[in-house]
Structure 1
Amino acid sequence: MRPTLQTVADTVGVSRSTVSNAYSRPDQLSPELRARILAAATALGYAGPDPAARSLRKRRAGAIGVLFTATLSYAFTDPYAVQFLRGLAGSAEQARTGLLLLPLSIDDEAAAVGAVNDAVVDGFCVYCMPDWHPALDAVQARGLPVASGQRREGDGPLNAFVGIDEAAATRSAGEHLVALGHRRVAIVGDDLSVARVTGPARLASPADIGYYTSRERLRGYQEALAAAGVGWSSISTVNVAGNGRADGAEAAGYLLDRAPRPTAIAALSDILALGVLDALRERGLRPGHDVSVVGFDDIPEAAADGLTTVHQPAAERGRRSGQLLLDPPTDPADRTVVLPTKLVVRASTGPAPS
């Protein structure tokens, strides 16, 4: 039979609370008594109090759950995700709290909901989830603080928004391209299509997209181009299978190898835009001369490659998200934080070729 706290207490001849103190409050016992309790526990094969049960008694789990619909390796390889998580981890460290990364399946919704329900956490940080995913409803049902960079109907009173004006950010990038004379513009991004493959995204409008971030960024470009007389039907949109450099290159190849070739390609992330630059160079085309390219995020590699992009404070978003989760403000107005963005113009954009 599996040994319990009571088993150790009976063996040593002390109370359950004394055995518990040997693990959680050693200063309450003499060194000799604590050593005797731990020796008995080792002999019996008792590993210590159950962490989940202990967190329930203390009403604090000591962890933030981070939700995203991607592979676990994405959190350690995507440049923007790394910066965001570094900021979040900084706030967690100050509060002596950990991070529980929860990569949730798009295909197995029941498993994703179960993971949310079973997570022993003090709150949730929604990094990247589609609006329709039932795991978000499960998050709300938990009644814990939530911080997210995306807005969604049904968000509860404990929800905090820490993000940027996504549409305004890409609107400025679109206006930059329009001012340079570009009218034949293509957009490359992930989550533009239900199918996770690289190819044309058949969208009646940006409203068709189930991911808040992609939807809002596409809407900003739509508005900037519409002001210049370019209708939505004239904008080419290409979905990518993943948010990787090779995915961006593959999507760009689809656009560049067909006529008429776009004069500008806007990617919804820098990592995709860097792939677009790779595809241009493979074909002997010059960024900013033959085809202009715009990214989003301003990751460190963007400056090295001369990429025009939208700068957003990734680490600051993570840091502020952690602060609002671990010390939720009482005033609902203080639960909305909109951080600034800035268009950074570099060599990858230039006048549209005649």
Structure 2
Amino acid sequence: MVTLRDVAQALGISHTTVSNAYNRPGKLSDQLRQRILDTAAGMGYQGPDPLAAGLVRGQSGALGVLFDEDLAYALTDPAALLFLRGVAGRSAAQGLTLLPGPHLADTVRTAIVDGFIVYSVTADHPGFLAARRRNLPLVVVDEPVPAGDDWPYLGVDDRGGAEQAARHLLDLGHRRIAVLVDRLTPGDHRGPVSSDRLRATTYQVARERLAGYLAPLGTPPAIWECGGGTPEHAVPAARALLAAAPAKRVTAILAMTDELARGVLMAAAAVGVAVPDDLSVIGFDDVPEANRTDPPLTTVHQPLADKGRLAVEVLTGSHPAPPQRLPTRLITRATTAPPPD
């Protein structure tokens, strides 16, 4: 195998000069650097090992993105994809190392990255705790929310967006309203949410959105935990809520994500409940699919791609002080209308 020292010997120069051609080109004239690269290519030398070069510079050229779900979630969930697209667009000159799942402490301890973007995990997540111990640049997106200035944080106005959605339904005349949440705590707990279960909520985004829904609704509406965030997770809950006689059935469902709202639309179509004539539905996120449902989904918009771009800017120091919470707003489409007579 041809080495850097072989190239240096062939050219009669120091190995440091050859290394500079790859790692510190500004130290060489254009002519000398090109002569080194041409000679190296002719000898079959492809350049220094990237890992070794990164260790020398104290940089890896990659950012670690840590999240709680498995890799399939990151590659298929529309909201996660938009966020990652924003991250990738802002860090085009760097690589991304995806660190998925709840059991990540060992992986995070050895990950070759320059910093961490922590995307929506609990405060006691093993990967998050391991990342903090690395003393690398770190920014948290969505949760955990710091008590003070413990770590840089970037989120959205979840509570305000949820309150807009609930008030929209009340203004239309709805009173029998249900809420679907993906998870209140880690795990796949499913079913109606008791007051004890509600108090046990550990996911801060869920807590904020629930607080927003309940602020204008007063007495707690029917709340159902789906055990996950795909449309399929929402179908059993929606079917149960729509099984009541029309006079007692809910007339509106607030879904905590657009994916859950899509599941409600699927379930309603399957049992012959018309949206929005018999049932109004509101999602949260405003992913591209929300405008392609039948009918198009009323939802709360949050700037997912912008959140990804800002996370990189905070991490790299190019945007040191963004607002901690970005604004949300209700997008009214065709899945909301006054309740049936």
Q: CA deviation at 1:293?
A: 0.9
Letter in 1 for 2:204: Y
Matched AA of 1:322 = V
Other-structure match for 2:337: 350
Q: TM-score, normalization: structure 1?
A: 0.81
CA contact (8 A) 1:62 1:98 kept: yes
CA pair 75-244 structure 1, distance change in 2 beyond 3 A: same
Preserved CA contact (<8 Å) 2:231 2:262? yes
Distance 1:167 1:154, change over 3 A: closer
Change (3 A) 1:349 1:154: closer
Q: Name the residue aligned to 1:324.
A: 314
Percent of residue pairs bearing the same amino acid type: 40
How many Å apart are 1:241 and its aligned residue?
A: 3.6
Question: Letter of the aligned partner of 2:271 in structure 1?
Answer: R
2:160 aligned with 1:173: no
2:96 to 77, 99, 106: 99
Partner of 2:236: 250
Determine if contact 2:185/2:203 at 8 Å carries over to the other structure: no
**Of 282, 296, 300, which aligns to 1:294?**
282
Runs (5+) with no aligned partner, structure 1 = none
How far apart are the structure 2 equivalents of 1:338 and 1:128?
14
Aligned-partner Cα distance in 1 for 2:223–2:187: 14
Among residues 134, 138, 144, which one is paired with 2:130 in the alignment? 138
Higher alpha-carbon deviation: 278-287 or 120-129 = 120-129
1:246–1:275 contact (8 Å) kept in structure 2: yes
CA change 1:161–1:56 in 2 (3 A) is: same
Structure 2 residue identity aligned to 1:75 = A
2:156 aligned partner: 164
Deviation at 1:84, TM superposition (A): 1.6
Structure 1 residue matching 2:239: 3-state secondary structure: helix
Q: CA distance change for structure 1 residues 339 and 256 in 2, over 3 Å: closer, same or farther?
A: same
- 1:84-127 per-position Cα deviation (integer Å, ceiling 9, x unaligned): 2222222112xx22222211x22x3xxx0122222222222122
Q: Is the 8 A contact 2:18 2:36 kept in 1?
A: no
- The structure-2 alpha-carbon separation of the partners of 1:329 and 1:296, relative to structure 1 and needing over 3 Å to count, comes to closer
Verify the 8 A CA contact 2:139 2:311 in the aligned structure 1.
Answer: yes
Q: Is the 8 A contact 1:159 1:335 kept in 2?
A: no
* Residue pairs, 1:124-273, within 5 angstroms: 124-152=116-144, 159-196=151-188, 198-204=190-196, 206-226=198-218, 230=219, 232=220, 235-258=221-244, 260-273=248-261
1:285 Cα deviation (Å)? 0.8
The one-letter amino acid of 1:342's match is R
Q: Which residue of 1 aligns with 2:53?
A: 54
Residue 312 (structure 1) aligned with residue 299 (structure 2): no
Q: CA RMSD in A?
A: 3.0
Cα distance change, pair 335–205 in 1 and its aligned pair in 2 (3 A): farther
| In 2, Cα distance between equivalents of 1:285 and 1:61 | 54
Q: How many residues align?
A: 333
Whether contact under 8 Å (1:90, 1:319) holds in the other structure is yes
Question: Does 2:326 align with 1:339?
Answer: yes
Q: Quote the Cα distance in structure 2 between the aligned partners of 1:250 and 1:205.
A: 19
Deviations 1:264-283 (A, max 9, x none): 11111112101101111111
Contact 2:169/2:252 (<8 A) preserved: yes
**Would the alpha carbon gap of residues 168 and 22 (structure 1) be closer, same or farther in structure 2, given more than 3 Å must change?**
same
Matching residue of 1:72: 71
Residue of structure 1 in register with 2:16 after alignment: 17
AA partner of residue 165 (structure 1): D
Quote how far apart the aligned CAs of 1:200 are: 3.0
Distance in 2 (CA, whole Å) between partners of 1:153 and 1:324 is 16
| Higher mean C-alpha displacement, 283-292 vs 265-274 | 283-292
TM-score with structure 2 length normalisation?
A: 0.84
The offset of 1:15, in angstroms, is 4.3
Conservation of the 8 A alpha-carbon contact between 1:267 and 1:293? yes
Task: Kindly provide the CA deviation profile for residues 196-222 of structure 1, in whole angstroms up to 9, marking residues without a partner as x.
Answer: 154334453645222222221112112
User: Which residue type is aligned with residue 185 of structure 1?
Assistant: I
CA distance in structure 2 between the partners assigned to 1:33 and 1:273 by the alignment: 59
- CA-CA distance at 1:68 after TM superposition: 1.1
The residue that corresponds to 2:267 in the other structure is 279
Deviation by residue 1:262-317 (Cα, 9 ceiling, x = unmatched): 22111111121011011111111111222211101112222333221111121111
Local SS of the residue matching 1:159: coil
